[in-house]
Chains A and B, each alone.
Chain A
Amino acid sequence: MSGAQQSFKILWGMAIDLDKCTGCGACMVACQAENNLAPEKDASKKQRVMNWLKVFELSNGKPFPDHDTAYLPRPCQQCGNPACVPVCPATVTKKDEEGGIISQVYPRCFGCRYCMAACPYKARYFNWYDPEWPQGWDKTLSPDVSVRPRGVVEKCTFCHHRWMKAKDKARVAGNDPYDLPEGAYVTSCTEACPNGAIVFGDLNNPKHLVHKLAHSEYAFRLLERLGMDPQVYYLSRREWVRRLGNHHLENEKTGEFTPLGGGHHG
């Protein structure tokens, strides 16, 4: 599975403006409703809670009144050089489809959790429990996403089923399914965010806003130096947020801020 990074004509990606995210959690709820995640009675057991998308609270570490807070929504980063793919013994998770979305084929997964150990973003979750919905609630399950039993690893798929639908719609309309206009395919979290903090699109397509944002002087990626080449970009005008995103040591000099966006894309 090692070797040269696979290139794609289309590269779906996100740009999340952390200066606009207020941590309300609408994206997390929309994600659960879209992807059939079951509720959990004791959600304070964070080691056992299933979230495809999680909003983290960041602090600049300073005491009041100099303190500052930011919220960081963390979906699967859909890395260009994913750590999870080569370690999967069952080819559950692959990055070989046009669009660059990392797959997760649940029926193949036997829950070894190597991928979880490998993922530096902790974006993968093990299904500790069979999904359990209150009586009747299963009638609200979406037909687009299969329900997963316990014992498998789950993760964000960038709402891959929505891409399938968008391609079908384009085909029916006689359009090129591999040249979708901006907004024809967006994830559930992007759609929901009341602050419009999440922008989704094709990182390789100059007509898509996300392509431009990935080149923004305020763009950065999480743990950039690990070389995972994530397809999720973050934006912040705050230096401390960008430093935290790249896990700089407290006294480490970063010098002039160098735009990181677009290093590999477009």
Chain B
Amino acid sequence: MGIDRRSIVKFLIGGAVGSMFTPTPWILTDDISIWTQNWPWVPKNIKGVDAYVPTVSKLCPSATAMLVRTVSGRPVRTMGNPEHPLSGGKISPLAATEVQLLYSPSRIKRPLRKASDGGWKEISWTDALALLDEKLGFVKGSATRLAVISGDQTGTVNEVLSGFVASMGSKQFFLMPSEAQTLARAWELMGGAGMPGFETAGSDYVLALGADILESWGASTRTRRAYCEARPHGEVPAATYAYVGPSCTNTAVGADIWVAAKPGSQAAVALGLANLLIKAGATSSAPDFAAFKALAARFEPATVAQLAGVSEANLAMLAEGLQKAKAPVVIPGSEFGQGGSVAAAAAGMALNLLLGAYNQKVGLRAVPEFAPVVEKAMARKDVMANDLAAYMQGLAEDNKARPEILITYEANPVYALPGDVAGTVAKIPFKVAIAQFMDETATMADLVLPSPLGIERYDDVATPAGCGVAIYCLNTPVIDAVNPAANIHGGDVILGLAAKQNANLGFNSFKDVLAAKAKAVGANVADLTAGKAFVSEAVTGAQPSLAAEAIAKSLEAKAPEGAYALAAVNKLGFGTATTAVPPQNLKLVREFELAGTLMYVHLNKATAAKAGVAQGQKVTLKAGDGKAIPALVNISEMVMDGVVMAPCNLGHTAFDEFAKGKGANVARLFTAQVEPGTGLSFWTQTGVAIEKA
């Protein structure tokens, strides 16, 4: 039988029909699909037993309480802790990535010594501590030759650090600038006792004067729970939220009312509101009420409109809202969580006093401080009075004696302080960075000591800035340190050095310090260890003043130079100065926030027209003294007229491929000045010029 055309066609058709009925091609296709996805470099799932271990974030300024999910001891992710007042089951965008940051490419894994060629040499802990001990021996007894900067805003480690500094004969212990410092200084000027806190839960009118309360201000996860509970889904909100600030921050988006006001104009707005409230009958038993009334009277609505850009109608609307509210609260703060005016903080707190919202369930509350346990530790008020920005300025201008040794503890002043302090820091002969990540300050250090992350160590969190109740929490290690040579807490490092310097602080280990603290707080250690928080709703203190004299003097501060006002915005999702943008969080950056290595700055159409710039145009923002950053223009109506908005925490020159070189550091442009009357530096009023690149 020959092969003819018909038989070929029959064979092909028969084959095609047959293949429809045999599973072979489908199984082959399935197999091909499966096996072409089964590559050795694609990780496989590792099964195990689940556990959820409670702790509190030491990386996120919100101090969010978390549960770390572990799978057979392997940490997988963090979630909110439903049983904890600093979470309520919710989590911040920074705390949500804390487990992944264990393996950040920027983690410091072992002690490093700067080599003569500028590179890094790994050294042992023994050698590192011996070197540091030797250097410290030369500065002991000097008031100026040792300086220590801490980036921890809530931990008892600050008692160890300041106690060590004091034992060495110095008082140069500084905290990185934050809302805590601004509020503490203002509260001291007002003669308040304890720490000022703001309770929003149960309020029917919350006025955020600059403070980005639903994003980066204070214990924001806790504040956001109160916001959530006041606004049931699909129902009319039980509380009105109003935000006053130059740009539509995340708080402004969540608020019912956004009233635009020039950057750093919180004091003028607060005094304008005080004037209207006093005219409407508000009063206070504060000893300086008469002086405050006279001061506020200078801030008629027309004056406020001129100084702050707030229309008379809007000012009246806010005053009426506060006046009619049953449980109002006013929360003052910097728009970006640092560098705020002390006078503005005092004026904002004074509003609460005028409204009778003082030491009630809602409003301003004098929250008791926990007793210190390190005997030689500096008093909190003394620490808060130490002005780091002014100190650095003094060093830069040779007005202050340069220290021989600078120790930074989980702080990144080189990146975060206003202006450019790198040159000043570089001149310090011996710099030690106790750090978790290779940030800008660690990069400049002569000796780098690795610090474990919060979930790898014992630590604590005591009442975050502005929190309306006193809270104390203990961190216990969720896991062993993933880098075995990075398992010594900075507190233990300092205690060891203190002992060697015969500056005994009374404790052998940092764990002992924490045990003593828990006892001093009056908390049950077993409960703390199990992840529960100690909470005290008690308030303390008598009638504070309204700080009228200090606020009046603060008005003598220099007005900002530059055609446009700079409004910085701080988003927790973009990380902090010490974490930079965590790798996962880079996806949060929106289309018109970053393009490759250039970040966008935002100005509205009217401002852009005035500046003669267009969407996507490359520009240079310039502040005084030749400070400049490059950027692209984004036209956005989320910014008020005459203002340029720029994000914080971009533009790192250190860290890793996820953060380095992305955008520009807006802190370079900040112009700090010491505030008359209050004595603390502030940099919420920075003027800039926009130049086409």
By a beta-carbon cutoff of 8 Å, the part of chain A in contact with chain B is 15, 17, 19-26, 28-30, 32-34, 37, 39-44, 46, 49, 51, 55, 57, 59, 62-65, 67, 69-71, 90, 106-110, 130-131, 133-149, 151-152, 191-197, 199, 209, 212-213, 216-219, 235
Q: Which residues of B contact A197 (CB under 8 A)?
A: 228
Do B45 and A67 touch (CB < 8 A)? no
Closest A-B pairs by Cβ, 5 of them: A39-B583, A196-B228, A67-B637, A216-B234, A25-B588
Do A194 and B30 touch (CB < 8 A)? no
Chain B min CB distance to A239 (Å): 15
Cβ-based interface call for B547 (8 A): no
Do B587 and A67 touch (CB < 8 A)? no
Query: Chain B residue with minimal CB distance to A134?
Result: B105
Do B46 and A141 touch (CB < 8 A)? yes
- Residue in contact with B587 in the complex, picked from A22, A49, A59, CB distance below 8 Å: A49
Q: Which residues of A contact B231 (CB under 8 A)?
A: 17, 19-20
Stretch in B171-179, B214-222, B286-294, B298-306 touching the partner:
B214-222
Query: Chain B residue with minimal CB distance to A71?
Result: B253
Do B43 and A133 touch (CB < 8 A)? yes
- A70, A140, A219 — most chain B CB neighbours (10 Å): A140
Q: Which residues of B contact A37 (CB under 8 A)?
A: 584
Q: How distant is the Cα of A147 from the Cα of B43 in the complex, in angstroms?
A: 7
A-B contact count (CB 8 A): 233
Stretch in B72-80, B275-283, B391-399, B497-505 touching the partner:
B72-80
Q: Which residues of B contact A59 (CB under 8 A)?
A: 637
Given contacts A25-B585, A69-B638, 11 further A-B contacts (CB under 8 A): A22-B214, A22-B254, A25-B571, A41-B658, A44-B589, A136-B103, A147-B45, A149-B39, A196-B228, A199-B233, A216-B233
- A25, A62, A90 — most chain B CB neighbours (10 Å): A25
Do A39 and B586 touch (CB < 8 A)? yes
By a beta-carbon cutoff of 8 Å, the part of chain B in contact with chain A is 30, 33-34, 36-37, 39, 41-48, 71, 74-80, 89-93, 96-97, 99-100, 102-105, 214-215, 220-221, 224-225, 227-229, 231, 233-234, 248, 250-254, 260, 482, 571-573, 583-591, 594-596, 604-606, 637-641, 656-658, 662
Q: How distant is the Cα of A55 from the Cα of B593 in the complex, in angstroms?
A: 14
Do B587 and A141 touch (CB < 8 A)? no
| 28 A-B pairs in the complex with CB atoms less than 8 angstroms apart | A15-B234, A20-B227, A21-B254, A24-B92, A24-B214, A25-B571, A32-B587, A33-B96, A33-B100, A44-B596, A62-B637, A63-B604, A64-B604, A64-B640, A70-B253, A107-B33, A107-B34, A110-B33, A136-B103, A137-B100, A143-B48, A144-B45, A193-B90, A194-B80, A194-B225, A195-B228, A213-B233, A235-B234
Do A140 and B74 touch (CB < 8 A)? yes
Q: How distant is the Cα of A152 from the Cα of B319 in the complex, in angstroms?
A: 57
Do A130 and B227 touch (CB < 8 A)? no
Do A149 and B75 touch (CB < 8 A)? no
Do B260 and A192 touch (CB < 8 A)? no
Query: Chain B residue with minimal CB distance to A67?
Result: B637
Do A63 and B606 touch (CB < 8 A)? yes
Do A135 and B248 touch (CB < 8 A)? no
Do B74 and A139 touch (CB < 8 A)? yes
Query: Chain B residue with minimal CB distance to A214?
Result: B234
Chain B min CB distance to A61 (Å): 8
Do B103 and A194 touch (CB < 8 A)? no
- Residue in contact with A30 in the complex, picked from B71, B91, B572, B662, CB distance below 8 Å: B91
Known: A134-B103, A136-B482, A146-B45. A33 touches B253 (CB 8 A): no
Chain B min CB distance to A34 (Å): 7
Do A43 and B589 touch (CB < 8 A)? yes
- B234, B571, B585 — most chain A CB neighbours (10 Å): B234
Q: How distant is the Cα of A147 from the Cα of B40 in the complex, in angstroms?
A: 12
- B41, B93, B638, B658 — most chain A CB neighbours (10 Å): B93
Query: Chain B residue with minimal CB distance to A18?
Result: B253
Do A63 and B637 touch (CB < 8 A)? yes
Do A151 and B37 touch (CB < 8 A)? yes
Q: Which residues of A contact B596 (CB under 8 A)?
A: 42, 44
- A43, A130, A136, A144 — most chain B CB neighbours (10 Å): A43
Q: Which residues of B contact A46 (CB under 8 A)?
A: 591
Do A33 and B214 touch (CB < 8 A)? no
- A22, A26, A138 — most chain B CB neighbours (10 Å): A26
Query: Chain A residue with minimal CB distance to B30?
Result: A108
Query: Chain A residue with minimal CB distance to B638?
Result: A69
Q: Which residues of A contact B658 (CB under 8 A)?
A: 39, 41
Q: Which residues of B contact A145 (CB under 8 A)?
A: 45
Do A67 and B638 touch (CB < 8 A)? yes
Do B90 and A192 touch (CB < 8 A)? yes
Known: A69-B253, A193-B90. A29 touches B104 (CB 8 A): no
Do A142 and B77 touch (CB < 8 A)? yes
Query: Chain A residue with minimal CB distance to B585?
Result: A29
Do B215 and A22 touch (CB < 8 A)? yes
Q: How distant is the Cα of A189 from the Cα of B317 in the complex, in angstroms?
A: 36
Query: Chain A residue with minimal CB distance to B31?
Result: A107
- Residue in contact with B253 in the complex, picked from A23, A40, A194, CB distance below 8 Å: A23
Q: How distant is the Cα of A148 from the Cα of B45 in the complex, in angstroms?
A: 11
Do B44 and A209 touch (CB < 8 A)? no
Q: Which residues of B contact A148 (CB under 8 A)?
A: 37, 42
Q: Which residues of B contact A195 (CB under 8 A)?
A: 214, 224, 227-228, 254
Q: How distant is the Cα of A39 from the Cα of B97 in the complex, in angstroms?
A: 11
Q: How distant is the Cα of A10 from the Cα of B468 in the complex, in angstroms?
A: 42
Do B250 and A23 touch (CB < 8 A)? yes
Chain A min CB distance to B670 (Å): 24
Do A51 and B234 touch (CB < 8 A)? no
Q: Which residues of B contact A136 (CB under 8 A)?
A: 102-103, 482
Q: Which residues of B contact A23 (CB under 8 A)?
A: 250, 253
Q: How distant is the Cα of A134 from the Cα of B657 in the complex, in angstroms?
A: 10
Query: Chain B residue with minimal CB distance to A66?
Result: B637
Q: Which residues of A contact B74 (CB under 8 A)?
A: 139-140
Known: A22-B251, A64-B641. A139 touches B103 (CB 8 A): yes
Do B75 and A196 touch (CB < 8 A)? no
Do A134 and B604 touch (CB < 8 A)? no
Chain B min CB distance to A219 (Å): 7
Do A194 and B234 touch (CB < 8 A)? no
Chain B min CB distance to A11 (Å): 18
Chain B min CB distance to A38 (Å): 9
Chain A min CB distance to B193 (Å): 31
Q: How distant is the Cα of A29 from the Cα of B250 in the complex, in angstroms?
A: 17
Do B33 and A90 touch (CB < 8 A)? yes
Do A212 and B637 touch (CB < 8 A)? no
- B34, B79, B221, B224 — most chain A CB neighbours (10 Å): B224
Query: Chain B residue with minimal CB distance to A42?
Result: B596
Chain B min CB distance to A49 (Å): 6
Q: Which residues of B contact A138 (CB under 8 A)?
A: 43
Do A191 and B573 touch (CB < 8 A)? no
Query: Chain B residue with minimal CB distance to A92?
Result: B33
Q: Which residues of A contact B641 (CB under 8 A)?
A: 64
Do A25 and B93 touch (CB < 8 A)? yes
Q: Which residues of A contact B220 (CB under 8 A)?
A: 194
Do B80 and A192 touch (CB < 8 A)? yes
- Residue in contact with B37 in the complex, picked from A40, A43, A107, CB distance below 8 Å: A107
Chain B min CB distance to A39 (Å): 4
Chain A min CB distance to B45 (Å): 5
Q: How distant is the Cα of A139 from the Cα of B76 in the complex, in angstroms?
A: 8
Q: How distant is the Cα of A25 from the Cα of B647 in the complex, in angstroms?
A: 15
Do B37 and A149 touch (CB < 8 A)? yes
- Residue in contact with A34 in the complex, picked from B47, B75, B77, B606, CB distance below 8 Å: B77
Q: How distant is the Cα of A19 from the Cα of B230 in the complex, in angstroms?
A: 12
Do B588 and A29 touch (CB < 8 A)? yes
Do B639 and A64 touch (CB < 8 A)? yes
Q: How distant is the Cα of A142 from the Cα of B588 in the complex, in angstroms?
A: 21
Q: Which residues of B contact A139 (CB under 8 A)?
A: 46, 74, 103
